[in-house]
């Protein structure tokens, strides 16, 4: 029997907790009693803990009582995970993790592990909306922004909210085989493995900085004229700079190259048109600046893991 522990704290996201725990609970229906998952919830404090949606939950035990070894220790996300530090939780985690076989987080629960120094040197992920914030807060972690979940050695982290179910299914498959995990996925009416990653849900192009500069002027021009051809030389000319100097400033301010920005903007434009219109693919490819459906299909598949047709079917 394996023991799965879940940390509870005020302002947690309830689905981050309940989704993965339901996976382990349903898995027990398909397992002999001796192979069942034993689920334990650990409260950051005694008494009722109110989740971010207002529902109150109560843990089985408190931090002070949680002294056993766990096979898997998970930290859910929610506003309480990143709004303010929890020194008592950090101290407990630093003592609990060495006696735990695997540990990890769902969604923004990564902030709690990161604050305790437990993500340093590991490839990890979190909800796409909080990736940059986690990078700044935990500079020693190797944060990636597109995966639904990641396992790096004994650390498991997942993207936002429902990605915790994907992570838990992967654990069940590892522990008891793919067939059991597939049976659980069927009960939950979810896919065993999703197509694409978090990039399907997040914009590839970050918002243009409000401060006006030569770089932001070029960004705004590109966004307004995506059907025009762009090269680094043309964008540099719009900024009245040499291509080399413009490229250096652009990467410094935007964290991607000028041509990567153009490509991302075109993909985001096409995504919006696929989601909100019934325009034919040829028209969308033209309006987004791809030039051809074939080129648009190639970039969609390489960046998002879906063709434009599959994307429209899934999101429109």
Where do we find the tokens 């923004």? 108
| pLDDT at residue 206, as a whole number | 62
Domains of the chain and CATH, by start: 2-199 (3.40.50.880), 214-315 (1.10.10.60)
Q: Among 201-205, 249-253, 299-303, which is the least confidently predicted range?
A: 201-205
Query: Predicted confidence band at 17 (pLDDT cuts at 50, 70, 90)?
Result: very high
Average pLDDT over residues 282-294: 93
Query: Predicted confidence band at 164 (pLDDT cuts at 50, 70, 90)?
Result: very high
| pLDDT at residue 189, as a whole number | 85
Give the pTM: 0.73
Query: Predicted confidence band at 208 (pLDDT cuts at 50, 70, 90)?
Result: confident
| pLDDT at residue 145, as a whole number | 77
Give the C-alpha separation, 308 to 316, whole Å. 11
The burial of 265, by beta-carbon neighbours within 10 Å (0-12 exposed, 13-18 middle, 19 or more buried), is given as buried
Structure confidence by residue, pLDDT tens digits, 108-148: 999 999 999 999 999 999 998 898 899 999 999 999 876 88
Give the C-alpha separation, 301 to 305, whole Å. 4
Q: Among 9-13, 21-25, 222-226, which is the least confidently predicted range?
A: 222-226
List, in sequence order, every residue forming a beta bridge with 252; answer none if it has no partner. Answer: none
| pLDDT at residue 108, as a whole number | 96
Bigger pLDDT: 186 or 198? 186
Average pLDDT over residues 232-250: 93
Determine how β-strand 102-105 pairs with β-strand 155-158.
parallel
Measured between alpha carbons, how far is residue 11 from residues 52, 77, 93, 157 in Å? 4, 9, 19, 20
Task: State whether the Cα torsion 27-72-55-108 is positive or negative.
Answer: negative
What are φ and ψ of residue 303, in 5° steps? -95, -35
Give the C-alpha separation, 150 to 171, whole Å. 11
Average pLDDT over residues 73-100: 95
């Amino acid at each position: 029997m394996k023991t799965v522990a879940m940390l509870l704290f005020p302002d947690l996201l309830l689905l981050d907790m309940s989704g993965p725990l339901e996976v382990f609970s349903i898995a027990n229906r398909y397992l002999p009693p001796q192979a069942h998952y034993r689920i334990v919830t650990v409260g950051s404090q005694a008494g009722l803990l109110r989740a971010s949606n207002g529902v109150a939950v109560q843990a089985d035990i408190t931090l002070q009582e949680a002294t056993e070894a766990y096979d898997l220790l998970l930290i859910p996300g929610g506003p309480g995970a990143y709004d303010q530090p929890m020194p008592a939780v950090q101290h407990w985690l630093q003592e609990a993790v060495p006696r735990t076989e695997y540990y990890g987080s769902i969604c923004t629960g990564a902030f709690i592990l990161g604050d305790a120094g437990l993500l340093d040197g590991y490839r990890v992920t979190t909800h796409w909306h909080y990736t940059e914030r986690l990078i700044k807060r935990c500079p020693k972690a190797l944060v990636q922004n597109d995966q639904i979940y990641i396992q790096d050695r004994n650390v498991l982290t997942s993207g936002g909210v429902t990605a915790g179910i994907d992570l838990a299914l992967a654990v069940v498959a590892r522990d008891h085989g793919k067939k059991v995990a597939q049976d659980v996925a069927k009960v939950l009416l979810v896919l065993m493995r999703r197509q694409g990653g978090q990039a399907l849900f997040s914009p590839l192009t970050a918002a243009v900085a409000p401060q006006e500069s030569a770089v932001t002027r070029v960004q705004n021009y590109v966004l307004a004229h995506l059907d025009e051809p762009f090269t680094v030389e043309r964008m540099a000319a719009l900024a009245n700079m040499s291509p080399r100097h413009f490229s250096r400033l652009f990467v410094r301010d935007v964290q991607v190259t000028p041509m990567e920005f153009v490509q991302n903007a075109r993909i985001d434009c096409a995504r919006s048109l696929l989601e909100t219109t019934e325009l034919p693919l040829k028209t969308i490819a033209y309006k987004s600046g791809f030039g051809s459906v074939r080129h648009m299909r190639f970039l969609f598949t390489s960046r998002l893991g879906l063709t434009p047709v599959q994307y429209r079917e899934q999101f429109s």
